[in-house]
Amino acid sequence: IAGITQAPTSQILAAGRRMTLRCTQDMRHNAMYWYRQDLGLGLRLIHYSNTAGTTGKGEVPDGYSVSRANTDDFPLTLASAVPSQTSVYFCASSDSGYQPQHFGDGTRLSIL
Amino acid sequence: AQSVTQLDSHVSVSEGTPVLLRCNYSSSYSPSLFWYVQHPNKGLQLLLKYTSAATLVKGINGFEAEFKKSETSFHLTKPSAHMSDAAEYFCVVSEKKGSQGNLIFGKGTKLSVKP
């Protein structure tokens, strides 16, 4: 079944550690996105990529980095995790920047 | 600047009764509007979309929404709620700015369905 695969599904991490959340899509979509979802705040865009080789900053990019080496993969890295990064992270993709997005099932990340 | 306001954080209905989830938006451009549903521990799934064609949009699972430009609203409705409709619903506005679109999510409405 076509879609987005995120890994891991959940993780508990010590503060200060480095962590990479993986995201792979098999729909050949050009655009990919990372969001965080926090209670009462809805979804907020962290970083996006309109096409392979390009990335951009969203609403809350600080403390996160991304890369887009190919069409299918869009990893999100926390260089040095802090407790405020405890959240549920969703990866999404779309044909273009203003088309409906398809979402993965999320990664639940707890920073202690 | 664009924004989305979901007027109710929580709506509770009885099974078999109508559902109304309210959404107002503001946009400087011609917007596209979407409703997404999120079941517990799952990602968001597209319910329906409005992209300047018919103002009454039909989606999956019996949901529909009407775009009312004069009221800047895009309310989601369903004639008869089912237990499986219990979930969180997000109204989303998209503006096309050059080659980059920008999705703005509402804060969500949690729908509870009582037997």
Contact call for A98 and B102, based on CB within 8 A: yes
Chain A stretch 5-44, residues whose beta carbon is closer than 8 A to a beta carbon of chain B = 40-44
Specify the range with the lowest mean pLDDT, choosing from A26-35, B64-73, B91-100: B91-100
Q: Quick one: average pLDDT of B86-105?
A: 79
| Tens digits of residue pLDDT in A34-73 | 999 998 888 999 999 989 999 999 989 999 999 999 999 9
Q: Is the pLDDT of residue B100 over 60?
A: no
Number of residues that make up chain A: 112
List, in sequence order, every residue forming a beta bridge with A34; answer none if it has no partner: A47, A91
Q: Is A56 exposed, middle or buried (0-12, 13-18, 19+ CB in 10 A)?
A: middle
Average pLDDT over residues B92-99: 69
If pLDDT is split at 50, 70 and 90, which confidence band does B80 have? very high
pLDDT digit string, tens, across residues B22-56: 999 987 777 889 999 999 888 899 999 988 778 89
pLDDT category at B104 given cuts 50, 70, 90 is confident
Q: Which of B86, B41, B33, B34 shows the shortest CA–CA distance to A37?
A: B41
Spatial distance between the Cα atoms of A25 and A28, rounded to a whole number of angstroms = 7
User: Across B1-115, where does the E strand assignment appear?
Assistant: 3-6, 10-14, 19-21, 23-26, 32-38, 44-50, 56-58, 64-68, 73-78, 87-97, 100-105, 109-114
Q: Is the pLDDT of residue B1 over 80?
A: no
What is the pLDDT confidence band of residue B14, given thresholds at 50, 70 and 90? Answer: very high
Q: What are phi and psi of A6, to 5 degrees?
A: -115, 145
Helix, strand, or coil here: B62? helix
**B99 at the A interface (CB within 8 A)?**
yes
Please tell me the predicted confidence (pLDDT) of residue B96.
62
Give the pLDDT mean for B52-81: 92
Record: contact B103-A96, CB cut-off 8 A: no
Portion of chain A with pLDDT greater than 90, in percent: 84
Task: Give A102's contacts in chain B (Cβ within 8 Å).
Answer: 46
Which of B50, B83, B80 has its CA nearest to residue B63?
A: B80
Predicted confidence (pLDDT) at residue B97 exceeds the cutoff of 60: no
Q: Kindly report the nearest CA distance between residue B111 and chain A, in angstroms.
A: 15
Residue ranges of A 71-110 with Cβ closer than 8 A to chain B: 90, 92, 96-106
Percent over 70 (pLDDT), chain A: 96
* pLDDT score of B98: 53
Q: How many CA atoms lie within 13 A of A13 on its CB side?
A: 25
Q: For an interface test with A, which of B44, B49, B89, B90 has the most A Cβ atoms less than 10 Å from its Cβ? A: B44
Q: Check A41 against B107: CB less than 8 A apart.
A: yes
- Are the CB atoms for B12 and B112 separated by under 8 Å? yes
Asked whether the beta carbons of B13 and B81 are under 8 A apart, the reply is yes
Nearest-angstrom CA–CA distance, B43 and B93: 18
Looking at residue A96, its pLDDT comes to 75
